[in-house]
Amino acid sequence: MARHAQPKTPRRGVLFKAGLGVTAAGAAVLGAAAAAQAAAPGASVPLPVDSLTRTDAGAAGAGALAGVTHGLGPLTRLQLDPLAKTGVDPLANGIGTQVADFKPVGTDLVTGHLTEGGAVADLPVAGPLTQKLLP
């Protein structure tokens, strides 16, 4: 429908206002429930900061490092080129040349790992580095 032929009062505005009203009502109900739970007589009161024990920095660092390595480790196995092994992969178009008796040189040396569906761990230089840093 052309812009000039649209009705002056579209229904979409009414639905938008109704959605905002439902969202605001839900937020008010959830906020009231949270406040009522916080004001419950059996709720625990947080301790003052000076009564807390000291944090073991070594254990906290080891836990953070373990979380990062286990969180980022699977990323090294993800396929880098989403179009790999398809007929429309632009990196699969290689060009090469050979001069005299020297070894042929081409772009497939650089893009070959990616067009075969390789991940970061499969790359020649970055792969061993990521295997040392991330499990």
Q: Could you read off the pLDDT of 33-88 as tens digits, one per residue?
A: 666 655 556 656 566 666 566 778 888 889 888 888 788 778 778 888 888 888 88
Q: Which residues of 40-77 are buried (b: 16+ CB within 10 A; e: fewer)?
A: eeeeeeeeeeeeeeeeeeeeeeeeeeeeeeeeeeeebe
Instruction: Report, in angstroms and rounded to the nearest whole number, the Rg of the chain calculated over CA atoms.
Output: 30
Tokens of 30: 């959830």
Instruction: Give the confidence band of 101 by pLDDT, cuts at 50, 70, 90.
Output: very high
**pTM confidence score:** 0.41
Which of the two residues, 38 and 90, has the higher pLDDT score? Answer: 90
Which of the two residues, 41 and 22, has the higher pLDDT score? Answer: 22
Does position 102 have pLDDT exceeding 70, yes or no? yes
